[in-house]
Amino acid sequence: MLHTVNKSSFERNSLQSCLNTIDDSSVILFIEDGVINAANNANSSMIADLATEGRIFALQGDVEARGISSKLADNIKLVDYAGFVDLVVEHGTAVSWV
C-alpha cells in the first residue's frame, strides 16, 4: 500500500496514526505540509528506520516550496508528481491520512 501523509507531525497526529497501522510492505509519501516530516528535526526518529529501509518518499515540489531541500533527514527519496503516480501504480491501494 501507499500511504500519503500531508500534515506535519508538529501539527497533527496523522503520521503517528499511519505508522501505527502500516504493514511491512507499505511505503509512505509525504506531500504538502507532510514534507516537514522529511526534514531533519526533533521528530525524525519516528521515520528513521523506515527511511533506512527505503520506504519514505517526499514530493520534491513541496520540499522545495518549503525551503527544506538542504535540511532533509537521511535516506529520504524525492519524487516528482510523475513519481507520485508511479508509486500509486506500484503499491496498490492508496491510503490518505487526511
Partner 1 sequence: MATKKFMYLNRRSSFGTVYAIESLEVVLIAAAFEQDVSLAFMDDGVYQIVEGQETDGIGMKNFSKTFHALGDYDINKLYVSKESLEERGLSESDLMPLVYEDEDDDWEEKPSIRVVTNDELKAIMSEQDVCLSF
Partner 2 sequence: MKFAIQVNEGPYQHQASDTAFQFAKAAIENGHEVMRVFFYHDGVNNASRFTLPPQDDRHVVNNWASLDIKDADGNPELVVCVAAALRRGMLDESEASKNSIDGNNIHPAFRISGLGQLIEAGIQCDRLVVFGD
| Nearest distance from C-beta of residue 18 to partner 1, angstroms | 10
Cell of 5: 501523509
Q: Is 10 in the site for partner 2 (CB under 8 A)?
A: no
* Of 17, 49, 52, 89, the one binding partner 2 by CB under 8 A: 89
Q: Binding to partner 2 by residue 81, rule CB under 8 A?
A: yes
Q: Please name every residue paired with 3 in a beta bridge, in sequence order, or none if there are none.
A: 28, 95
Decide whether 54 or 92 has the Cβ nearer to partner 1: 92
Instruction: Please give the order of strands across the beta sheet that includes 56-59.
Output: 77-79, 56-59, 27-30, 2-5, 94-96
Phi, psi of 3 (to 5 degrees): -110, 125
Q: Which of 1, 63, 75, 4 is nearest to 36 (CA)?
A: 63
Asked if 98 interacts with partner 2 (CB under 8 A), we say: yes
Query: Is 57 a residue that touches partner 1 (CB under 8 A)?
Result: no
Site residues (vs partner 2, CB under 8 A): 4, 6, 31-33, 59, 61, 80-82, 84-86, 88-89, 92-94, 96, 98
